[in-house]
Amino acid sequence: MTDNQTSPPVTVTLESGPTGAGSIDDFELFYARRAVDRFRTLLGRQGLLDLLAADIEEGNAFLRECARTSDGSFKAGTTVLATQSLTSGAFLAWMDSAFAGDGSALLAAHPEHYVMGTDAIGARVVENIGTHVSDFYMGGWGTDALAWAADADEVLPESEYPRKMSSNLFLADGTVVGRALIQFGDTADGFTANLTVYLPTTCPDDVLEHHLRHYAVEFRNWIVAAAAAHA
């Protein structure tokens, strides 16, 4: 074989054995989720915060510097999800109950969710922003908080997307390190979710890309959980 030739990818096919439905990837995902849930449970909220303290300090410093060098300007990216057999109203009602609960349903939606809940400052989130573990807050959810987004290119027609929520993403010291705009419109058989995140313009593009993937994973899993609860 010459230097410019590459080997074909190795393919492994499950021929027999397990009687349950699913592929090897499905099995791996199930066990990965179970392992993550075990560590979250064993460590607990404060244990996770203690374990990640140095990572959080580094991640927040990264976002704070991006905000400083961007001088209040942001770049946007949007993930779009289409859902069947569930209305946006039913999903948002489930989300309200999930935020009001112990946070376990919110945490379960993504392996890189570490802490979620509400305290005196706002809705607290400890998760990855790209490769950076960050501890930030969301506040001002609701249609009355759309002032900053009123002229944004990403705002969709009210007639088609009547359910809109926006928020600043800010650190405990008040530094705004991002924004979120999520919009839901019902369809004939379900709803469409437009999930837009805004990050400081000097933030590397791969950080934005990974958050769009993060959106896809967490909202897909939240929607599936909401549908199961609604059944």
Percentage of residues in the chain having pLDDT higher than 90: 81
pTM (2 d.p.): 0.90
pLDDT at 8 over 90: no
How would residue 4 be classed by pLDDT, with cut points 50, 70 and 90? low
- E strands present in 130-230: 132-139, 163-170, 176-186, 190-200
The Cα 52–Cα 58 span in angstroms is 10
Q: Are 200 and 66 in contact (CB under 8 A)?
A: yes
- Supply the pLDDT for residue 2: 54
What is residue 149's predicted lDDT score, i.e. its pLDDT?
74
- Read off φ and ψ for residue 184, nearest 5 degrees: -125, 135
Is pLDDT at 144 greater than 50 in this prediction?
Answer: no
pLDDT at residue 65, rounded to an integer = 98
**Which domains, and CATH codes, for the chain?**
52-230 (3.30.530.20)
117 φ, ψ (degrees, to nearest 5): 165, -175
Q: And the tokens for 148? A: 């900053």
Distance of CA 147 to the CA centre of its chain: 23
